[in-house]
Structure 1
Amino acid sequence: MREHIINVIKQIEEDYNIKILFACESGSRAWGFPSKDSDYDVRFIYIHQPNWYLSIDQKRDVIEIPARESISIPIDPLLDLSGWELTKALKLFRKSNPALLEWLTSTIVYYHSYSTYDQMRELDKKIFSPTSCLYHYLNMAKGNFREYLQGSQVKIKKYFYVLRPILAAKWIEKYNEIPPIEFQELLQDILPSGEVNEAVSILLKRKIAGEELNLETRVDVINEFLNKEIDHLETYAKQLNIDIPDPTMELDQLFRNTLKEVWPQELAKLL
């Protein structure tokens, strides 16, 4: 599949006249608990040629294959790709967008060209906002908890839609830094050995084994843990107030540097 993903990335570059700077896995495979039929959720950052940016009109800054766009070669049905144009990505980076930060910290990297990714990784600790990221994970956990885990019967996979953001939020509380993307690392560090850890570990093994869609009796010990942590994190988040220096000038320069690095000849024609 990795070779196929790289071939698709190259074809996207050709079909859309762009350069892809970075591509990674972002879904359950990156989180460390894929089932045998899990999709490959590939996410990427790309840059257009300089002329694309010289327009008074706002243009589409996302590529979604096969959801909204297509390419000129067939793709595997398990493959889902979505990419953000660089200026969109940098605006979200400035806001400490957790989804983008997860891309940058993914341990499954399919493609990496030019120096943009490395420059962003050098800035991520400086740009990271504990407040906005913690609220993101907390709100995600609260919404999923209300939607998926209130009935007497629940699906195994839905627990991880709440557990992972709760553990990520608790990592931020503990370390004041970007949480790791892998669920196992969060679990081992944040959740001490005991009844809850054991119950989660059992569910994790079953999910990986392919039982994720099974309807099961609600695991009360996990629900009680999640309910308690949501209340705790809501209280903690209200006390959190950390100012982050505005990184706009550095991100503007990063964008200019990327244009020069990727499209030197095309840029020279415009100057």
Structure 2
Amino acid sequence: MEAVSREIVDVVLGRLHDVECEHDVEILLAVESGSRAWGFASLDSDYDVRFIYRHRMPWYLDVLQRRDVIEYPIVDEMDYSGWDLRKMLFLLNKSNPVLFEWFHSPIVYRSDTAFLEAMKEPFDRFFSPVATVYHYLHMAENNYREYLKRDRVKVKKYFYVLRPLFACAYIERYKKAPPIQFDILLETAALEPSMQSTVIELLERKKQGYELGEEDRIEPLNRYIERQLEHFRESVSGFDPREKPEPEYLNRLFAEMMTGRQEA
């Protein structure tokens, strides 16, 4: 499992078991999110463990609103949080890009085979190119404005601008949810050779644990970023909005997924 040692996997699996016992839930999927899943983690990056879980049926029949997120404070670089199944389906209806990233993570700690199989069609049907491009475009714009417009910049922040821009380019080209690994996105970004070499060199420095502090901004990358931002600002409204299935589709899906989690 790339970027995660066997020791860490054992720690995560043990903690997930504790989560299930503590909250009386069943974890259906648990993955790594963030920089380790994206492929540009530093040696001291946190482990961002994200999971989808379901309660027993009586939990969903309470008339009072109940918390549908499980979160824990970060301890020893381990960050755990998860979403309830019903919340996940609500976010799927909105084509939430973070949810799609979880399901495309290359680092999977635990998964329920039947659950993953059942979700293939819904994820394809609810993916919205236009909503996803807006999400990544805003992410790139915000990070660029905040970190990369000064003469001296935090070089590692280039990755937090380039990755969402590459994701936009992937959606534009393939009309489907983008992979989350930076190296795969880079391959499809069609950068000029000299610029691609610059990005690869920065990537290797970061992955090898070098501190990418403040340096002079990289003018060719800044110019590329500004061109791409302008391109997607102009083109995003023309992306396929796709018509979503009727809400009853998700209601039926939720009912089917709860058949295996009845109160004994």
How far off its partner does 1:36 sit?
0.9
1:172 aligns with 2:210: no
Shift of 1:172: 0.6
Cα–Cα, structure 1 residues 183 and 207, in superposed 2: closer, same or farther, change >3 Å?
same
Confirm or deny that 1:117 pairs with 2:124.
no
- Correspondence for 2:144: 145
C-alpha separation in 2, matches of 1:17 and 1:214:
44
**Aligned residue identity for 2:195:** V
**Cα drift, residue 245 of structure 1:** 2.6
- Structure 1 residue 202: deviation in Å? 1.1
Instruction: Specify whether residues 179 and 247 from structure 1 end up closer, same or farther in structure 2 by C-alpha distance, changes over 3 A only.
Output: farther
Q: Are 1:129 and 2:128 matched, yes or no?
A: yes
SS in 2 for 1:190: coil
How does 1:175-214 map onto structure 2 within 5 Å?
175-214=174-213
What is the TM-score when the length of structure 2 is the normalising length? 0.93
Unmatched segments (≥5 aa) in structure 2: 1-7
1: CA distance, partners of 2:243 / 2:165: 23
1:50 aligns with 2:57: yes
Determine which of 15, 20, 26 is the counterpart of 1:8: 15
Tell which deviates more after alignment, 125-134 or 211-220.
Answer: 211-220
Structure 1 gaps, min length 5: 68-75
Instruction: Name 2:238's counterpart in structure 1.
Output: 239
Q: Number of paired residues? A: 257
Coordinate RMSD, CA, aligned: 1.5
Offset of 1:195 from its aligned partner?
2.0
2:27 alignment partner, one of 1, 5, 20: 20
SS in 1 for 2:138: helix
Task: Pick one of 41, 46, 49 that aligns with 2:48.
Answer: 41
SS in 1 for 2:71: strand
CA distance in 2 between counterparts of 1:151 and 1:207 reads 21
Instruction: Provide the rounded CA distance (Å) in 2 between the counterparts of 1:49 and 1:89.
Output: 16
Alignment CA distance shift 1:238-1:113 (3 Å) = closer
- On the 8 A contact 1:116/1:254 being kept in 2, the answer is no
Q: In structure 2, how many angstroms separate the alpha carbons of the residues matched to 1:212 and 1:255? A: 46
**1:66-105 → structure 2 map (5 Å cutoff):** 66=73, 77-105=76-104
Q: The residue matched to 1:211 in structure 2 has which SS?
A: coil
The alignment-based identity, stated in percent, is: 42
1:30 is the counterpart of 2:37:
yes
2:54 is paired with a residue whose SS is strand
The CA deviation at 1:247 is 4.8
Other-structure match for 2:157: 158
Q: TM-score, normalised by structure 1?
A: 0.91
Amino acid at match of 1:99: V
Query: C-alpha separation between the residues in 1 aligned to 2:152 and 2:220?
Result: 14
Aligned-partner Cα distance in 1 for 2:71–2:20? 13
Do 1:22 and 1:45's aligned partners in 2 also have CA atoms closer than 8 Å?
yes
